[in-house]
Amino acid sequence: MRLVKTQLRYITLCATIAICACNSGEEESPNIDIAAPVSVEQITTGSLSRFTITTGNATAEKVIKLNAQIGGTYILKNHPSYKRPFKLGDRVKAGQPFVEIQDQEYVNGIGLEAAKMNLELTQQEYDKQKSVFDKGGVTVRELKNSELSLTRARNELESAEIRLAKMKINIPISGTIVELPQYTSGSQIQQGDPLVTIMDYSRMYVDVSLPENTMMDIQTGQKVQITNYSLPDDTLSGSITELSPAIDINTRTYLAKVRFNNPNLLIRPGMFVKTLIKINQKNDIVVIPKEVIISDQRGKRVFVVQENTAFERIIETGMENDDMIEVISGLEENERLVTKGFETLRDRSKVKVLQ
């Protein structure tokens, strides 16, 4: 029994020594604050723009569709540059002969030569009557009747020439053939049959719907950037030329027409395009990336570094776009803003700035 008590006292003594040794080690261990690696950028002032983005279909500014004004035999002319009949997609110039419609019966019915002869005779008769009138040989009424006959003869000749011109169709505008019905040369066509559709899409427009809250910020003449999703690196410049004052009660939007030059014909008629319209811009303001802001119940926070210590700043923000945001208060120019590694920081955390 005495041996057991001795052993218990020995075990208790060893445990007490061990606990004291552990406590002593904890008190002597230094409190090490590990510096967190961060990246920083110097805060500078700059400008910030806000855009509204809309989409729409690009439409050629000039489109002309030609139909046959008379029936007859269809003869398609050769393209003067390619020395072959015109084809779909050909670039054409105004005035080039395009189609001839032949109908001898129609030509005979016009009576062009008879109209010319009639004009010649009535002109001679008028000149004779006027000479006699100057000598007092005819009355004013007789002279006026002769003048009326001359006017009618001129009108008849002009009408004959207009009717005859319907047989020969020239290209009306410079552009591109976008529709060309397939008729066999020498076949018969009817009055009203379609002949060709030509588009000049070197200048285009797009109708867009703009949100109601932008109405006070947008006006005619305002610059617009136009892009196509298949041509993201090619941006064209245009402007707003027309604005509707009416708000659609269902969509809460209003219509605007944007016109733009398309000199290299990169945008094709009917393409879906995106328009960027600048609705506001501020200059000489503190601007920071939106991604460095921590937002919680305390507000919007960022960290700045001074002498290898991170300090928390509560900020107030203003205008923003997709990537950047204006800081109204809480930051000063030339401070060093933490842009990477801020997620685990606390106020007054030690940091190591990475180069």
Flag whether pLDDT at 260 surpasses 70: yes
pLDDT at position 33 is 64
Quickly list H helices, 135-264.
Answer: 140-165
User: Does residue 28 carry a pLDDT above 60?
Assistant: no
pLDDT digits (tens, 9 = 90+) for 231-247: 877 889 999 999 999 99
Q: What's the predicted TM-score (pTM) here?
A: 0.69
Residue 72 has pLDDT above 90, yes or no: yes
pLDDT band, residue 9 (cuts 50/70/90): low
Say if CB 293 and CB 315 are below 8 A apart: yes
What average pLDDT score do residues 56-62 get?
A: 96
The whole-number pLDDT of residue 19 equals 42
Q: Is the pLDDT of residue 95 over 90?
A: yes
What confidence tens digit (pLDDT) does each residue in 261-297 have?
999 999 999 999 999 998 888 899 999 999 999 998 8
The answer to whether 347 touches 34, Cβ cutoff 8 Å, is no
**Residue appearing with tokens 């999703």:** 229
Instruction: Decide if pLDDT at 23 tops 80.
Output: no
**For residue 43, pLDDT beyond 80:** yes
Which pLDDT score is estimated for 133? 82
Mean pLDDT along residues 182-197: 94
Residue range 190-219: mean pLDDT, rounded: 95
Joined together, the tokens standing for residue 139 give 């009355």
- Altogether, the residues listed in the chain come to a count of 355
pLDDT at 129: 85
Residues 17-32 have a mean pLDDT of 44
Taking residues 22-28, report their average pLDDT: 44
User: Who wins on pLDDT, 322 or 242?
Assistant: 242
Q: Are strands 349-353 and 36-42 parallel, antiparallel or unpaired?
A: parallel
pLDDT of residue 232: 75
Work out the mean pLDDT of the chain and round it to a whole number. Answer: 88
CA atoms within 13 A on the CB side of 254: 15
pLDDT in tens, 143-154: 888 889 999 999
CA distances from 156 to 117, 143, 144 (A): 11, 20, 18
* d(C-alpha 202, C-alpha 211), whole Å: 29
Examine the pLDDT at 25 and tell me if it is beyond 60. no
Q: What is the pLDDT of residue 32?
A: 55
Per-residue pLDDT band for 325 (boundaries 50, 70, 90) equals very high
- Per-residue pLDDT of 122-179, as tens digits, reads 999 988 888 888 877 778 888 888 889 999 999 999 999 999 999 999 999 999 999 9
Residue 120 pLDDT > 90: yes
Q: What is the residue whose two structure tokens read 């990475």?
A: 354
| pLDDT given for residue 278 in this prediction | 87
Phi, psi of 347 (to 5 degrees): -60, 130
DSSP state string for 119-152:
HHHHHHHHHHHHHHHHTT-S-HHHHHHHHHHHHH
Angle at 268 between CA 93 and CA 83, to 5 degrees: 35
Domains defined along the chain, listed by start: 36-48+283-353 (2.40.420.20), 52-60+201-281 (2.40.30.170), 65-196 (no CATH)
Res. 355 pLDDT band, cuts 50 70 90: low
Tally: H helices and E strands in the chain? 4, 22
Determine the average pLDDT of the residues in 185-205: 95
pLDDT of residue 267: 93
